[in-house]
Chain A
Amino acid sequence: MTRRRALALAATAGLAPALARPRPAVAITLDELRRLEREAVSASVAVEQTATVALEALANGGVLDDRTTATVRILLDHVKEHADGLAQAFHDALGEDAPLAPKRTAIPELAAVRSREDALRLAEHLLERAIATHLHTVTRTHKGELLKVIAGTVGSDAQGLVLLRQLLGRPPVPLAFERGRS
């Protein structure tokens, strides 16, 4: 039996990880629990900040046609709002300042962009990574206001993926669960 066949059978039997199952309880200190929460929320802010910096560079990079530039600018406006909203929620919920946005030089993938397709694939990767990060974050925090901002952000990032897939000539909604990609 091939691995692919085994996975297909597992999926049919409901054994695939489409639905995350509860983890066994593990003892951990309260400080550690809070540290993990802080790190996870901080990572959510950071991925949206990184997307903001990178999408701005892509929009101004001279490799996109007018239509694609217009779409990337819409996504840029959105991820900037996500970064600001999450940073504010981070501060309000955890009493600390959010991490600072990275410089362009801290995003090495930008240097490899040579074409419209490269730019679109990088934008897609950034949004997928953001969604995967946010999905991890909600396992670490149960603070209502943070969850509300994260939910709205994931919905928006997912819609951004639809626009990018269309521009790349791919099916807009390929899967029933949007988990992003690390």
Chain B
Amino acid sequence: MLAAAGAGGGVATALASCGGGHDNPEVTQTVSPEQSRSDAAVMNALLDLERMAVLAYDAVLEHLTGAERRLAMTLREHEREHQRAAERAIRDLGAHPVPARPDGSYTSGFPPLRSEREALRFALDVENTQVSAYGDSLGSLVTPELRVTLLAILGAEAEHMSAILGRLHEPQAGRAFVTGNAPT
């Protein structure tokens, strides 16, 4: 058996008898059951983060009015869509989404929010954490199509950051590489 490390992901299993030469074997890209389980574990961790994000926006919304509130409501709905996408991905991998923890186990770690600015700053922290988590997870996923989904969510979370920064009157695109590691 031969694995094409790097190219495409998954396991490129040699099928020498089916065609190709000795130096250029014919291969088929598959994802093993162990790799599917690993991908599901990564997606479950991200699902947990999305659940936290929805609850964070619930808390943030209590302190916002007007345009800021409308923006936060849109972003919360996006987080819900990400949550549903993660759940579907986990099921497609033949696994089960981990049950949500009690709300308090997420919210107990939230900072006290006393003003609109603090609420927006907290939302920015949440988005920054998500960009970092999605970026770090990208290389762990073996299923190529899941990497596409992750990257599409990462892009949306980066856009959330930019929109929030605008409401905070701060530079909205301050870095050429958005990794989620910038201090917020």
Q: Do these two chains really belong together in a complex? A: yes
Q: Nearest B residue to A158 by beta-carbon distance?
A: B155
* With contact pairs A27-B19, A162-B159 given, residues A37 and B27 touching in the complex (Cβ less than 8 Å): no
CB-nearest residue of chain A to B9: A142
Per-position binary interface string of chain A over residues 135-173, scored 1 when its CB falls under 8 Å from any chain B CB and 0 otherwise: 110111111100111111111111111110010000111
A116 at interface, CB cutoff 8 A:
no
Contact partner of A177 (CB less than 8 A), chosen from B156, B176, B180, is B156
CA distance A176 to B139 in the complex (A): 22
Q: Which residues of B contact A134 (CB under 8 A)?
A: 151
A155 near B177 (CB under 8 angstroms)? Answer: yes
Out of A18, A36, A161, A179, which one reaches B85, CB within 8 Å? A18
User: What would 13 A/B residue contacts be, using CB atoms closer than 8 Å?
Assistant: A22-B92, A33-B27, A33-B29, A37-B6, A37-B8, A134-B151, A138-B148, A141-B7, A144-B139, A155-B135, A155-B178, A156-B178, A163-B162
Size category of the binding interface on chain A: 35 or more
A155 and B6 in contact, given A25-B30, A27-B28, A28-B26 (Cβ under 8 angstroms)? no
Q: A interface vs B, CB < 8 Å? A: 14, 18-23, 25-31, 33-34, 36-37, 74-75, 77-78, 81-82, 85, 93, 131, 134-136, 138-144, 147-163, 166, 171-173, 175-180
B44 within 8 A of A: no
Does B60 interact with chain A (Cβ within 8 Å)? no
Cβ of B152 within 8 Å of any chain A Cβ, yes or no, is yes
Q: Do B28 and A155 touch (CB < 8 A)?
A: no
Are A176 and B156 neighbours in the complex by a CB distance under 8 Å?
yes
| Contact B152 A159, beta carbon cutoff 8 Å | no
Interface pair A26/B28, CB less than 8 Å apart: yes
B173, A162: Cβ atoms under 8 Å?
yes
Asked, given contacts A163-B173, A177-B81, whether A154 binds B158 with beta carbons under 8 Å apart, the answer is: yes
Minimum distance in angstroms from A37 CB to a CB of chain B: 4
Q: Do the beta carbons of B173 and A36 come within 8 Å of each other?
A: no
Once A34-B7, A144-B139 are accepted as A-B contacts, the answer to whether A139 and B158 lie under 8 Å apart by CB is no
Neighbour of B152 across the interface among A135, A142, A161, CB < 8 A: A135
Contacts of A142 in B (CB 8 A): 5-10, 139, 142, 144, 147
Stretch of B71-79, B95-103, B104-112, B117-125 with 4 or more beta carbons under 8 angstroms from chain A: B71-79
Distance of B140 from chain A, by nearest CB (Å): 9
Instruction: Say whether B89 faces chain A, with CB atoms less than 8 Å apart.
Output: yes
CA distance A140 to B82 in the complex (A): 23
